[in-house]
Amino acid sequence: MNFDQILSAVGGFGRFQKILYVWICIPQIPLAFHMMVSIFTGATPPHWCRDSPNVKSNSSDPGGEGSMSKTGTPSQNLSISLLFEHGETCGLFVNRSNSFSCSYGWEYSREIFHSTIVTEWDLVCDRASLNSVGSSIYMFGLLVGAAVFGAMADRYGRRFCLLLCLAVQAVFGVSAAFAPNFPVYVLLRFVLGTSISGVIINAFVLGTEWTCTQRRMLAGIFTDYFFGLGYMLLAGIAYLVRDWRQLQLAISAPGFIFIFYIWLVPHSARWLLVNDRREEALSLLRKVAKVNGRSFPTAAQVERCDVAGEGKDQHSAIDLLKTSEMRRRSLILFYLWFVNVLVYYGLSHGISSLGVDLYLTQFIFGLVEIPARSLVLLVLPWSRRIPQSFFMAVGGVACLLTLAVPAGKPQVVTALALVGKFGITASFAVIYIYSAELFPTVIRQTGIGMASMFARSGGVLAPLINMLREPTPTVPMIIFGCAPLLGAALALALPETANQPLPDNIQDIQEPSGRISPSHSPSEGQQLQHLASDS
């Protein structure tokens, strides 16, 4: 009797698992806060050169009559442009050919933001790129965290790493609100990013290891709804709290509530068995059976319990490239993961450049995640390959269409960006499931781990690509449009996995007929279709 059979006997998705998923879903809300807060804390408001302290001026009204710049010229010669169009706010212009740098710093509009990291540390003009670099370093933290806390979880347990990452998230999130300077702020955010990855990975794995195969996909997608909820809630919090330090504190301080998870979150029984902590695992399984109202298997059956995967040959990342078919699947999936994260965060963090209400746009961009993920649940039972290609194509085409919109119509650009966000969010939901079915069981975790690293690389590049908007506004959308279109074409080169058995070994995907032995486990497509008919 293997572990999955025992789990089914005690209840694969009973009251115990439903309560567990409540505890797993709640941290997804602050995760969304931290992932998206830089849209507000790192915003660049309209700004202009500060006049010489030796000259009387009305800096709050730089265009007013009689105010003078440090050059002695009327400051109405000073150009003040709109948000994210501040190419002429880096100097004082006496005429078209002569200008002077802002030697005395800048004044910032407080109409929308009371303060941001940009206004506090003057991240404008020749220092504007530091803002995007800081965001990239934060995303690099997610990449590092995926490697560090993923390996740590295998050694010390999913529960320990989840609790540790929640604590680090709270401590460093609050600490970032008191950062004395920009380098310290970036360092604190980097560590915060590592903890975000640790929470994502270990919450997902802990939930998966306690859930029966038939319900894992549905439960996994359900947790994503809470990320979308956090996305929307952030818009309201940021609207009420306009100071960046107070906002950072408001989204981070509630994280200390998770200290109660010490008494609420269980170990993974599967991990306990793998690490020879059999008595603890069986005690926990008896508790699960009691909570779920099920009977515990007999002692003889439990004594023969083994964990799937024990005693099998070890595989490594090299196996992802060993055969031609495995290499083709792996490289295409790596690219799809990279593009999904690149465009997802590129669009999400670029909404401030759309020229419409920032708070309303943030809310709508979060709201669109709910129908996108719901649509995925409806179409996945019938196909994986077609939805993957279609949703990526929708995201790419929508981004390219924004380039055709005449100037002065930000609402149209925003609507198209919203369609792009819908497409890439749906594609993001599909790629998790599609990848799990394309990688054989023996290297499935390794394959998804490698794909996740490529995905985080896309997250690192997204802020840097948005930075290109300054000299060439069309470049980011060209990249965010063309990259998914290429991905849509490559996705069509992958095999269909809906209603097909999952491959267990690399040899299973090398068979010329493309068929897998019917003795293998049923596909999750069949499970999803069964779930849809039950609901």
Rounded distance between C-alpha atoms, residue 483 and residue 345, angstroms: 14
Q: Rounded to an integer, what distance in angstroms lies between the CA atom of residue 380 and that of residue 369?
A: 16
- Rounded to whole angstroms, what are the CA distances from 321 to 318, 334, 510? 6, 12, 13
Give the torsion sign (CA, 111, 115, 118, 119): positive
Q: Are 236 and 363 in contact (CB under 8 A)?
A: yes
Alpha helices in 255-323 (DSSP H): 261-264, 269-274, 278-292, 299-303
pLDDT at 51 exceeding the cut of 70: yes
pLDDT number for residue 119:
92
Triad 154, 159, 164: Cα angle to 5°: 95
CA distance 392 to 431: 10
CA separation, residue 531 to residues 208, 215, 377, 380 (Å): 17, 8, 10, 12
Q: Is-contact 344 425, C-beta < 8 A?
A: yes
Q: Which helix (H) or strand (E) holds 222?
A: helix 213-240
Tokens of 307: 């964990």
Q: Quick one: average pLDDT of 385-405? A: 94
Alpha carbons 480 and 395: distance in angstroms, whole number: 8
**Spatial distance between the Cα atoms of 261 and 247, rounded to a whole number of angstroms:** 25
Asked which of 49-58, 288-297, 418-427, 515-524 is least confident by mean pLDDT, the reply is: 515-524
Is 80 exceeded by the pLDDT of residue 503? no
Q: Choose among 384, 410, 387, 391: nearest CA to 343.
A: 391
Q: What mean pLDDT is reported for the chain?
A: 81
Q: Helix, strand, or coil here: 410?
A: helix
Q: Cα separation of 16 and 219, whole Å?
A: 13
Segment of 95-109, 428-442, 511-525 carrying the highest mean pLDDT:
428-442
Range 51-57, long-range pairs (CB < 8 A, 24+ positions) = 51/75, 51/104, 52/103, 52/104, 53/104
- SS3 for 115-179 is ECHHHHHCCCHHHCHHHHHHHHHHHHHHHHHHHHHHHHHHHHCHHHHHHHHHHHHHHHHHHHCCC
Q: What is the pLDDT of residue 231?
A: 92
CA 275 to chain CA centroid, nearest Å: 31
Share of the chain above pLDDT 70, in %: 80
Tokens describing residue 510: 């090398």
pLDDT digit string, tens, across residues 170-216: 999 999 999 999 999 999 999 999 999 889 888 888 887 888 777 76
What are the tens digits of pLDDT across the range 123-146?
888 888 899 899 999 999 998 988
Task: Express as a percent the part of the chain with pLDDT over 90.
Answer: 41
Residue 26 has phi, psi (to 5 degrees) of -60, -45
Please compute the mean of the pLDDT values over residues 221-235 and round it to a whole number. Answer: 89
Coil vs helix vs strand at 306: strand
At residue 216, the 3 state secondary structure works out as: helix
Given a contact cutoff of 8 angstroms between Cβ atoms, the answer to whether 426 and 373 are in contact is: yes
Give the span between the Cα atoms of 278 and 54, in whole angstroms: 77
Lowest mean pLDDT among 17-21, 239-243, 511-515: 511-515
CB 511 within 8 A of CB 326: no
The lowest-confidence range among 7-21, 257-271, 294-308 is 294-308
| Residue 34 CA from chain centroid, whole number | 10
533: CB partners within 8 A, 6+ apart: none
Band of the pLDDT at 303, cuts 50, 70, 90? Answer: low
Q: Are strands 106-108 and 47-49 parallel, antiparallel or unpaired?
A: antiparallel
- Compute the average pLDDT of residues 20-33: 93
Q: Are the beta carbons of 254 and 30 closer than 8 angstroms?
A: yes
- At residue 432, does pLDDT exceed 70? yes
Per-residue model confidence as pLDDT tens digits over 454-472: 988 999 999 899 888 877 8
CA distance 336 to 494: 11
Contact 453, 407 (CB under 8 A): no
The model carries a pTM of 0.80
**pLDDT band, very low/low/confident/very high, at 505 (cuts 50, 70, 90):** confident
Q: What 3-state DSSP class applies to 466?
A: helix
Residue 70, pLDDT score: 36
Helix, strand, coil percentages for the chain (3-state, nearest 5): 65, 5, 30
Q: What is the DSSP letter of 523?
A: P
Q: How far apart are the first and last CA of the chain?
A: 30
Of the given ranges (11-15, 22-26, 487-491), which has the lowest mean pLDDT?
11-15
